[in-house]
Amino acid sequence: MAKDPTQELKPMSLRDFVDLGFLQEANRQFFHPLGIALYAMWSEDKPREHGNPPTMLGIFDLRDDPDGVVFGHFSEEDIERGKFVEAHKQARIRARQALFDGESIQPLKVGIFSLNRK
């Protein structure tokens, strides 16, 4: 069951956001079809190759491209990250559908969000 939306939020590190596949899947499933790409950046003095975490996210704007953005290829690791994110999504689908009248995506509605506690 969902918690009060005013609860204290727990931050996720950029490293986990990238390494666990959330950035990849946010791009693949949402941003790329719109011609937008989020990307992780590392500082020059702390490169990724040395195991350092990303320092910030950037945004590419390719909305003028009718194809949007397309990944060049997927490695086995990319596929595993995608499966990991999908499993997290599936684990929440029913609870979210109970909140939003059968939908897993929160509908755009004017007014204050209230939990559907059936």
Domain locations in the chain as residue ranges: 14-99
pLDDT given for residue 86 in this prediction? 97
DSSP string, 57-106: EEEEE-TTSTT----S---HHHHHHHHHHHHHHHHHHHHHHHHBTTBSSP
- The yes-or-no verdict on residue 92 having pLDDT over 60 is yes
pLDDT given for residue 112 in this prediction? 61
The pTM (predicted TM-score) of the whole model is 0.80
